[in-house]
Amino acid sequence: MNKPIRTVSIFCMFLFLALMANVTYLQFWRSEDLNTDPRNARVAAAAFSRERGLILVGEDAIARSEPVDDRYKYLRVYPQKQLYAPITGYLQLGSQTGLERSQNKVLSGEDPRLFVNRLVDLLKGDTNQGGNVSLTLDPRAQRAAFTSLRDTVGPEGEGAVVAIQPKTGRILAMVSFPSYDPNELASHDREVRERAYERLDGSEHQPLLNRAIQTRLFPGSTFKVVTAAAAIEEGVYDQDDQVPSGATWQAPGTTGEQNVIDNEGRTGCSPERISFATAMEDSCNTAFAKMAVEVGPEKLRETAEAFGFNSDYLLDLGPQARSVFPEDVVDVIDGEEQEPRELNGAETARSGFGQFSVQATPLQMAMVASAIANRGALMRPYLVDQVQTASFDVLETTEPEKLRDAISPQTAAQLTDLLVSTVDNGTASPAAIDGVSVAGKTGTAQRGIEGKAPYGWFISFAPAQNAEVAVAVMIQEAPGKQIAGGQLGGPIAKAVMEAVLQ
């Protein structure tokens, strides 16, 4: 019987060899694959138990890892609580939001730029430490934006502020209100964490939303700046020209009371022809409706797109809502979708003052202001200034990047003049700063729902001729206050600009 026993031995040997080969494949060759699978909870837990890098604003850490005595070893702490929450996001086991998410590789130390440091850590026997992310934010501007927005809209209000350095695209302030305390969501106590999330997620004010980049609303009259830019750029009007206006205007191709465009009581708009400056100062709907129709939907859209509409541009933080200028309209007749068509006259007219289906995020409107302030050159907005090692050695500094020339410098200069006179003599006067030339534009956008208060907008930049800051303020809800972009948004923008210019 020995011959078959030998055969059986060889067979058994092959069984074991197969097991060994397979397990070697699994633990050696496939290991990398499995260890980078985002569904792998071990990866998440390991990242969670590691000393993550800091998120820095100036010298201060707005997110840091504190050693704690539990199974995860480090607790993520956000000392400024609500102030930076929409930007930092929060860290949880296996998930992150905000910068914690978008900069996860650096913060967790997995980024290839940190490879050498990882190697050194390994040799020194240190635990792997994540790199730091230093932000472009100006802490004074951020705080000014947050407090003035909060004080303006009240505890039940909603809104956002974005401030950009026009020459570089550095985001100086980004505030969304209401905000939340990320410490609760990053707690290692499951119950604390879940209760906080349920409360925040269930709140009608949506505090978890970063309104500055995620909320898209009708920009209202602030969009008139884009319409004016298109008109000047296309040579339809010049800043010194007279433009057609009027007390009311029946939108072309329409009938009925609801399609009559008026100026909400601003009588300066009533003459049939007014100066371009007056149209801007008094924010004349009729003038810009007519101007939009004259320019035409295609040119209007091209100008809007040059400013960043219909595209994504923010790389450092997500998710970002894309601002929209409609390319075409799809009618639905008897439940059937028709062929897409170009915007008709009435739709173009409404788009001209930021209604119909034009929608913009606060960041987008800040970019419109910023491009005008920067002689027409649109810079890519960014939040991450530097990537550093744990010991603050700079690994990479973000270089400002020009996206495109949205408009010509001449157009930008004309628009600047118009906007300065809007602050000096018009609706945007609440943003005026003593001794500084400020350019600004208000906006009050109808929601299209009867009885609901409008959205308030305000965009501005200063100093007008050599701008250091461009701001967009959006007020979504301010219970108990009369929403008019100038009255509510103006002082907020002013506070932010002053904080930067100080």
Partner 1 sequence: MATNSSTLMGFVHRRRRGAELFLLVLALVVGIGAYAAVGLGVDGEVPTNLIGYGGWLAVLTVAAHVVVRFVAPYADPVLLPVVAALNGLGLAVIHRLDLAKDTGLASQQLTWMTLGVILFVATLVFLPDHRLLARFTYTSGLAAIVLLILPMLPGLGTQINGARIWIAVGPFSFQPGELAKVLLVITFAGYLVVHRDALALAGRRVVFIDLPRGRDLGPILMMWVVSLGILVLQRDLGSSLLFFGLFLVMLYVATERPGWLVVGGLLFFGGAAVAFRLFSHVQKRVDIWLDPFADPDGSGYQLVQALYGFGWGGMIGRGFGEGMPERVPYAESDFILAAIGEELGLTAVMAVLLLYGLVVERALRAALISRDGFGKLVATGLAAVLALQVFVVIGGVTRLIPLTGLTTPFLSYGGSSLVANWVIVAILLRISDQARRPLPDLTEDEDADEQATQVVKVVPQ
For the annotated catalytic residues, the residue numbers are: 221
In sequence order, what DSSP letters do the residues of 225-284 get, joined into one string?
HHHHHHHHHTTS--TTSEEE--SEEEPTT--SGGGEEE-TT-GGG-SSEEEHHHHHHTT-
Residue bearing tokens 């709907």: 285
The 8-class DSSP code of residue 36 comes to: T
C-beta closer to partner 1: residue 6 or 402: 6
| CB-side neighbour CA atoms (13 Å) of 5 | 2
Distance between CA 374 and CA 404 in Å, rounded?
11
Considering only CA atoms, give the Rg of the chain: 28
- Region binding partner 1 by CB under 8 A among candidate stretches 25-33, 90-98, 189-197, 281-289: 25-33
Which of 38, 39, 125, 333 forms a contact with partner 1 (CB under 8 A)? Answer: 39
Rule CB under 8 A: say whether 122 interacts with partner 1.
no
Considering beta carbons, is residue 30 or 402 the nearer one to partner 1? 30
Nearest residue (CB) to partner 1, 9 versus 357: 9
Q: How far apart are CA 289 and CA 395, in angstroms?
A: 50
Q: Quick one: 40 or 446, whose CB is closer to partner 1?
A: 40
Answer for which of 22, 338, 397, 465 binds partner 1 (CB under 8 A) is 22
Q: How far is the CB of 33 from partner 1 (least distance, A)?
A: 7
Residues of this chain, 441-460, that bind partner 1 according to CB under 8 A: none
Please identify which residue in 3, 124, 235, 451 interacts with partner 1, judged by CB under 8 A.
Answer: 3
Q: Which stretch binds partner 1 (CB under 8 A): 19-27, 62-70, 337-345, 434-442?
A: 19-27
Is 13 near partner 1 (CB under 8 A)? yes
For 233, phi and psi rounded to 5 degrees? -60, -40
- With contacts defined by CB under 8 A, name the span among 17-25, 127-135, 445-453, 492-500 that binds partner 1: 17-25
Residue 34 region by backbone torsions, left for phi larger than 0, else alpha for psi between -120 and 50, else beta: alpha
Backbone φ and ψ of 257, nearest 5°: -60, -40
By the rule CB under 8 A, 19 interacts with partner 1: yes
328 in the Ramachandran plot: left (φ > 0), alpha (ψ -120 to 50) or beta? beta
Could you tell me if 108 and 84 are in contact, meaning their C-beta atoms sit under 8 angstroms apart?
no
Half-sphere exposure of 349 (CA within 13 A, CB side): 21
Q: Mark the segment that binds partner 1 (CB under 8 A) among 28-36, 318-326, 332-340, 464-472.
A: 28-36
Q: Which amino acid is at 213?
A: I
Kindly state whether residue 6 participates in binding partner 1, applying the rule CB under 8 A.
yes
Minimum CB distance to partner 1, residue 32 (Å): 8
The answer to whether residue 15 forms part of the interface with partner 1 (CB under 8 A) is yes
Dihedral sign (CA 93, 207, 486, 247)? positive
Among 11-19, 101-109, 220-228, 284-292, the segment contacting partner 1 (CB under 8 A)? 11-19
Based on the shown chain and the rule CB under 8 A, indicate whether residue 68 belongs to the binding site for partner 1: no
User: According to the binding rule CB under 8 A, does residue 18 interact with partner 1?
Assistant: yes
Interacting residue ranges for partner 1, rule: CB under 8 A:
1-9, 12-13, 15-16, 18-20, 22-24, 26-28, 30-35, 37, 39-42, 45
